[in-house]
Amino acid sequence: MKRVLLVGGSSEYVGAVYLAGVSALRSGADSVIVMAPEKVAWAINALSPDLMTRKLPGTHLTLAHEAAIKRQLATADVLVLGNGAGVRSATAALMRKLMRWPGPKVIDADALKALRKGAVDNAILTPNEGEWELLARESDVPALLSRGNVIIRKGMPTEILSRAKTYRQPRTNAGLAKAGTGDVLAGLCAGSLARGASLWDAAREAMATGNAVAGLLAKKKKGYYFLASDIAEELKKSARLSAKAR
C-alpha cells in the first residue's frame, strides 16, 4: 500500500487540502492521510469519506505539531506540504522542519513561501508566478535543481525544470489559472509518486493529466467556466487522458 501524507490547512483555508488529497487518491495513492488543525480536519471528513485525517489541536499548524507529524511520517511514502497552511511564522518554521524529511515530497503553496536557501531535496516544487519570484529571491534556483529537485513553473505556458532537462507545455489550458487548480496539480504529483514514478515523470504526468482534463471540461462547458473541484471530479478518466496528452 502506497500512502500519501498531506500536511496543510488552516482556519482560513480548507478546500486546498481537500482538493490535493482527493486528487492524490484519484491518481494513484492507495491512501491519503491529511494532518490539519482539528476544525479543518473535521470539515474534510464531511467533504469526503475517503480521506483519513489526523486532527491537530489549534487553528493553525505550529512547531508544537512536529512530533505528531513525524510519527505519522514513519508510515508515509510521499509527503505533500503547504496547501492552505497559511504564512504565519510558526507555520513557516514547521514547514521548513518537515522539508528535511528525506522521502519524495511535493512542496506547494505556503510551503514554497517558507522555503529558504534551497534547503530541500527529493522534491517536486510547484510555484505559480508570484511564488516563482519569491523562490528566485530566497533560494538559488540552479542550486535547487542541482540537488535533484524538479520544478513545475506554473503559467502560460507551464514549464518543468530539472538539472538535466526542461520541458515547455505546448498549449496550457487558460482555465488552469483559476484558484485551486494548483492544489489539484500537487495531488496529481503525489499520486504519481505513490505509484513509483520518478520526480520528473510524476511532474510530466501530473501536468499532462491536469491539462487534458481542463481541455475536456472547457469543451463540455463551452469555455473556461469549470472549477478546480470539477477537475478533481473528472480525474476518474485521468489514465486515458494523460496517456493521450503525452
Structural domains of the chain, ranges and CATH numbers in brackets: 3-245 (3.40.1190.20)
pLDDT per position as a tens digit, 82-135: 999 999 999 999 999 999 999 999 999 999 999 998 899 999 999 999 999 999
Give the residue among 58, 124, 62, 55 at the shortest CA–CA distance from 87: 62
Q: Does the pTM exceed 0.85?
A: yes
Which position has the higher pLDDT, 235 or 52?
A: 52
Among residues 135, 24, 166, 133, the alpha carbon closest in space to that of 83 is found at: 24
CA 120, 124, 128, 133 dihedral sign is positive
**Which residues on neighbouring strands pair with residue 7, listed in sequence order?**
35, 81
Question: Is residue 153 over pLDDT 90?
Answer: yes
Distance CA(182)–CA(108), nearest Å, equals 8
